[in-house]
Structure 1
């Protein structure tokens, strides 16, 4: 049987259905047409169909090209207990992944795409505040291919993307979707995460499952535009993931953190604003979250310089209402070190305000 016919038969059916819905096939319209109109419509359809088929083939060829270009740079990372994914960052054997993938372990087994051979990697450093980490292969194989990281500022809603990784341990898996939103601030929750609050995340409809963490979210230019990190949870069905809502750390953040870890062995400039306190959520008389109580003030930190003390209850940062420690983290994620803002708080029942110059986390 002709292999090409097998490949194109289903797209033809799909295209015919699409054209019918658009009213391009005269037989699908409820309006009467003359014989000449039907002949003209048939001619138009016959001319449009090959073009549409070529577009379908071109898109499929584009997918295949991206997978061929990028998948060799996506690896599976196995610790003693947890399994995740990683992206080859350079030809020296550095691999970027999520901090929650490496956990508190130091040594990992790494499998590259298309190979069953396990390689050994050592942790370089982990930065849980941004849920990123770098590991390094002890003996990088010949031909190790580094991925190309794209420009996060050019990511657009509606852009087609592919997610690559090892969901549920199924190495070298690829899923497809679009960029659903950009600039999301998300706080991780649940077991196995760092609890980090991460700003500017890319939201995608591409399926992201356990094991995808640390992999690659890729555009059709074969550029990594993000590192898939977590999927949203539907509160109505317990801990089940909400379908089609996943989040990836943007490539610009990944490059910033990875470059510092590789050069200095740690993050020296996080770019994350901080108050310099240890806090906890407090509730009101109706047991509703009502603010963040200051438990400890870091000496010389932003809160200390502004005069905040243990026992104060923070209720607002700038124009943002603060009810929980998570809402405070999300408000700070929208700021930068050195930004000036106002903290509203209560002390002994009295509401007060303090001007604060934010420090760095």
Structure 2
């Protein structure tokens, strides 16, 4: 007999029976833009570990099988999975970092992405701000290269710069298809958080289709941006304008905002960041590069100027129409100055921000029902939305 452990017996075995072989048992997802002074460089990475469980079964009246000892192939499985993921991360970083730059705009700092071989860079409008000269540091480590502003589009918080010369080793980024972005995808954020150029953080796509309003204080543009990608990858001051990348080395968004928690004094809410989707980035960049400005925003508009109104308890209760653009969508639908808009489509309107967010979810040409009050009387009108 071998030395394998035996199971308990409930009764003595038959005297004439030999021990048979043991049977095998099988184990059976408010905002603050970010810019900071330049510091030193670093990078981060992450890996996943796996574990295996062996099961020892016992049988009634039979010998149990010895505990299964992992073979060399099972011992190698977990490290191989970790190595594969780590290699994937490193390949993406090697592919994309040469397309990510650091932007010094006066005494402020942000990130940018190389858009084409002519040296156009895409970044956030709040990174550019009011600066008129820029110094660009590329991943190859050369001396900073001057760049000029082509145009800024604060309504979508995007801007295009152009390098005076294209350094060796710099290559255009490859942009992905925003419609294919799915919750749960692994992503890496690349940029210069807190001035640490060439930094990489990792996370997942937490949600898609978010509409977020950027603060107008602290250097923000106050833009309301629709269809943003929410991510758990850390986005810190200085990451703005950089790259949010999938494991195919495709840029799926431009990191722009980090959520803040009012209950914590508007400090950053960890793991809640937002990126402008690649489709909008390409739409804006192509128009600026071709014509010098955005001629087709793709953003819906009512054709009014408005302000937030308060009720008797000093709470926001709607958006008052201050002025109506002649021949615009609201004018065509019969809205007048003094009307108070309370709903657009299915969205309740209490502030000018909520109106902007509702419009950001619509497209030019869409027909929506606008509910409003005039002289205390409730009314509604169907409006064919125009374009900003």
Report the TM-score, using the length of structure 2 for normalisation.
Answer: 0.84
Counterpart for residue 223 of structure 2: 196
Q: Which runs of 5+ in 2 are unaligned?
A: 1-45
- 2:143 and 2:352 map into 1 onto residues whose CA distance is 44
Q: Distance in 2 between the 1:201 and 1:174 partners?
A: 20
Counterpart CA distance in 2 for 1:37 and 1:287 is: 76
Write the deviation string for residues 199-224 of structure 1: whole angstroms up to 9, x where unpaired. Answer: 11111110000000000000111111
Counterpart in 2 of 1:281? 308
User: Which of 317, 322, 337 is 1:290 aligned to?
Assistant: 317
Counterparts of residues 24-43 of structure 1 (less than 5 Å): 24-26=53-55, 37-40=65-68, 42-43=69-70
**1:35 shift after superposition:** 8.5
Select the structure of larger CA radius of gyration: 2
Distance 1:116 1:349 in 2: 66
Who is 2:338 aligned against?
311
Q: Is residue 170 of structure 1 aligned with residue 202 of structure 2?
A: no
Stretch deviating more after TM superposition (84-93 or 132-141)? 132-141
**8 Å contact from structure 1 (residues 162, 219) kept in 2:** yes
Aligned equivalents of 2:265, 2:239: Cα separation in 1: 21
- The residue that corresponds to 2:297 in the other structure is 270
Q: 1:175 to 1:37 in 2, by over 3 A?
A: farther
User: Does 2:385 align with 1:358?
Assistant: yes
Give matches, 1:183-332, under 5 Å.
Answer: 183-189=209-215, 190-332=217-359
Over residues 296-318 of structure 1, what are the superposed CA-to-partner deviations in whole Å (9 max), with x where a residue is unaligned?
A: 22222111222222211110112
User: Relative to structure 1, is the Cα distance of residues 219 and 289 closer, same or farther in structure 2, using a 3 angstrom cutoff?
Assistant: same
Q: Does 1:104 align with 2:136?
A: no
CA distance in 1, matches of 2:99, 2:356: 33
Aligned to 1:3: none
- Conserved? CA contact 1:19–1:25, under 8 Å: no
Equivalent of 1:64 in 73, 85, 90 = 90
Q: Which residue of 1 aligns with 2:154?
A: 128
- In 1, are the aligned partners of 2:213 and 2:224 still within 8 Å (CA)? yes
- Write out per-residue CA displacement over residues 92-111 of structure 1, whole angstroms, 9 at most, x where no aligned residue: 00000001110122221111
Provide the C-alpha distance between the structure 2 equivalents of 1:278 and 1:38, rounded to a whole number of angstroms.
Answer: 79
Q: CA RMSD in A?
A: 2.0
Deviation at 1:36, TM superposition (A): 5.4
Q: Deviation string for 1:280-309 (max 9, x for gaps)? A: 111111111100011122222111222222
Match of 2:367 in 1: 340
Instruction: Output one character per residue of 1:120-174: Cα deviation in whole Å (capped at 9) or x when no partner.
Output: 1111111111111100011222343001001111111111110000001110100
Bigger proportion of residues as helix: 1
Secondary structure of 2:75's counterpart equals: helix
TM-score normalized with structure 1 length: 0.90
* Structure with more relative contact order (C-alpha pairs < 8 Å, separation 6 or more): 2
How many equivalent residue pairs?
340
Which residue of the other structure, out of 94, 98, 115, is the alignment partner of 2:141?
115
Retained in 1: the 8 A contact 2:112–2:123? yes
Question: CA 1:37/1:237 → structure 2, altered by over 3 Å: closer, same or farther?
Answer: farther
SS of the aligned residue for 1:19 comes to coil
